[in-house]
Amino acid sequence: MEKNRNYFVAIALSVLILVAWQFLYVNPKLEKDRAALEAQQAAQSQQTTTSGGTTTTATGTSGALPGGTSTATTTETREAALARSARVEIDTPSLSGSINLTGARFDDLKLKEFHETVEKTSPIITLLSPAETEHGYFAEIGYVGSEATGQVPGPQTVWTQEGEGKLTQATPVKLTYTNDKNVTFTRTISVDEHYMFTIADSIENRTDAAIALSPYGRATRFFKPSDPSVYVLHEGFIGVLGDLGLHEVKYSTTEDDTTVAPGKATGGWLGITDKYWATALVPPQATPYETRFSYFQDGRPRYQADYRQDDVTIAPGQSVEVKNLFFGGAKEVPIIDQYEASYSIPRFDLMIDWGWFWFFTKPMFQMMDFFFRYFGNFGIAILITTIVVKGLFFPLANKQYASMANMKKMQPKMEELKAKHGDDRMALQQAMMQLYKEEKINPLAGCWPILLQIPVFFALYKVIYVTIEMRHAPFFGWIQDLSAPDPTSLFNLFGLLPYDVPHMLMIGVWPIIMGITMFLQMRMNPTPPDPTQAMIFTWMPLIFTFMLATFPAGLVIYWAWNNLLSIIQQGIIMKRHGVKIELFDNLKGLLGKKAGSS
């Protein structure tokens, strides 16, 4: 039929477009981004070896928010940088590290529960490091003052710890600083069992006149992620800025424009996000603040997300309290949601990039997470979620396969109409439409389930790709990370032959299983009589096998399992409608052709 011809041609063109997009645009872009990143890192390394200096930043009475006056070009080892200043140790169930008493800066933070690779003996993730290191990344809370305030806390302020001890979930630490004008700052830092720090400052004005100062917060990093950015995931600056809403700013945007200033907001949060980790500053929710996402090129290039609140005025002999929150850790969905509710942080859940279909993506994750907590395996959770989704779409799928079954029943009548009308396509189409009407067949019924599966597939892809819960989540056997491609390859006999296979030839076991199930599903229907259609019919599973081989293993497992369920479902419905299942005849015919051709 002409409709079948158009249908298969459309599929073939779609596949060709996807393949062309991957090889002609996505791959070159990734290589270009990787080359640019390596060139930038090489330039920084060259600059580091040919220059010297120490870090100096604006603070105190300058009236400027720190960040744009660094002249340092040298780097040193992390161990050496940590040893250069007095520190307060951090030790919680989730975090280890220390707070730099110079600037009361969070610049040493490791995530105890996450490792760099699937091997449990690999190093744990380092999130924050001192500014003097190659991968400097830190956050701090300070103040911008004036001549009347004297030197206020900033990057170079040396705080004094009251008492001894380390920062734990049960034991906050207290820091103090008194400036040249006799203004006293008392800072209490506490942390919960996960990743949220509370910074509560008491500012006492012991002068004879009123003073005004502006609290600020900043998160600064001296590098970009080593992996090139992927279009389905945002990495870079992020914030929900009161009525200004969600802002996602790429590193490249600030490199081009230097500074992106969304404007003044009240309430919200801002910071820097990676695929699995993030830092976020949460200013007092009732006080307006100016926001800024910047790229500085003086000294060592660096990226900074910062805010500056409106002035806080303190009368003589009086004191005020200023409380800020700082998040530094893994983007675990339940924890992020818990913080949004318990601290009343607007849309804190948007720190995780759920995508355009967030209203579908997040519930899908929650369903998978529910099954995971019950069965203890995300692979099993994917299989059960697939069954649930198939159940939700069952009425539509039932109509689809029933319509296909009825279409098969009408094949003899359609052949009669073709013979009757010959080359008169207009008359043939009118006759077929009349036949569809008489037999109550909707030729488009099969399209809706396919269209509705697209957001399901994309949502599942987002869940597997962006949620940290999927990172290093094992299934069974050789699949030790559902968020990574199947590590085996047909072209070295799945590891039996002692050589590595090029990336484009990493066709693992699960992609092959997926291709076989897709092949069987397509063979449930008669082979199209048209040679072009038949060729597409035959080669499409192979094309999809190569395409999906680079996708996360969890997604390929979903697709293979979904195909298998579709085969069973289609077989039951076809049998119920008294329609012959063509699978075995098609396979016999295919094998017969191969035997005859040999």
CATH code for position 107:
2.70.98.90
Residue 398 sits in the same domain as residue 349: no
**Minimum mean pLDDT among 143-157, 367-381, 537-551, 578-592: which range?**
578-592
Residue 409 sits in the same domain as residue 273: no
List beta partners, residue 259: 294
Is 391 contained in some domain?
yes
**Minimum mean pLDDT among 202-216, 302-316, 410-424: which range?**
410-424
Which residue pairs from 120-125 have beta carbons closer than 8 angstroms and sit at least 24 positions apart in sequence? Answer: 124/96, 125/277, 125/330
Which pLDDT does position 50 carry in this prediction? 35
| Between residues 497 and 166, the one the model is more confident about | 166
Residue 325 sits in the same domain as residue 453: no
Is 427 contained in some domain?
yes
Q: Is 33 exposed, middle or buried (0-12, 13-18, 19+ CB in 10 A)?
A: middle
Distance from C-alpha of 203 to C-alpha of 200, rounded to nearest angstrom: 10
Mean of per-residue pLDDT scores for the chain? 82
Which pLDDT does position 303 carry in this prediction? 96
**Minimum mean pLDDT among 20-34, 169-183, 382-396, 398-412: which range?**
20-34
Residue 225 sits in the same domain as residue 374: no
Residue 332 sits in the same domain as residue 447: no
Which pLDDT does position 532 carry in this prediction? 66
Residue 297 sits in the same domain as residue 175: yes
Residue 232 sits in the same domain as residue 188: yes
Which pLDDT does position 164 carry in this prediction? 86
Residue 329 sits in the same domain as residue 412: no
Note whether 219 and 139 are within 8 A (CB): yes
Rounded to two decimals, what is the model's pTM? 0.81
Domain boundary among 288, 321, 353: 353
Domain count within the chain: 2
Residue 319 sits in the same domain as residue 378: no
Q: Does pLDDT of 440 surpass 80?
A: no
Distance from C-alpha of 441 to C-alpha of 552, rounded to nearest angstrom: 39
Distance from C-alpha of 448 to C-alpha of 423, rounded to nearest angstrom: 31
Which pLDDT does position 595 carry in this prediction? 46
Token pair in block for residue 489: 């390859």
| Between residues 83 and 8, the one the model is more confident about | 83
Distance from C-alpha of 223 to C-alpha of 237, rounded to nearest angstrom: 13
Is 3 contained in some domain?
no
Residue 349 sits in the same domain as residue 373: no
Domain that holds residue 218: 78-353
The pLDDT tens digits for 3-59 are 444 444 555 555 555 555 555 554 555 455 555 545 554 544 444 333 333 343 444
Percent of the chain with pLDDT over 70: 74
Helix (H, G, I), strand (E, B) or coil at 305: strand
Which pLDDT does position 390 carry in this prediction? 84
Token pair in block for residue 105: 């800066």
Is 91 contained in some domain?
yes
Is 16 contained in some domain?
no
CA atoms in the 13 A half-sphere facing the CB of 585: 7
Which pLDDT does position 598 carry in this prediction? 46
Residue 318 sits in the same domain as residue 282: yes
Percent of the chain with pLDDT over 90: 51
Residue 155 sits in the same domain as residue 266: yes
**Minimum mean pLDDT among 415-419, 466-470, 516-520: which range?**
415-419
Distance from C-alpha of 172 to C-alpha of 541, rounded to nearest angstrom: 59
Is 116 contained in some domain?
yes
Which pLDDT does position 66 carry in this prediction? 76
The pLDDT tens digits for 278-299 are 999 999 999 999 999 999 988 8
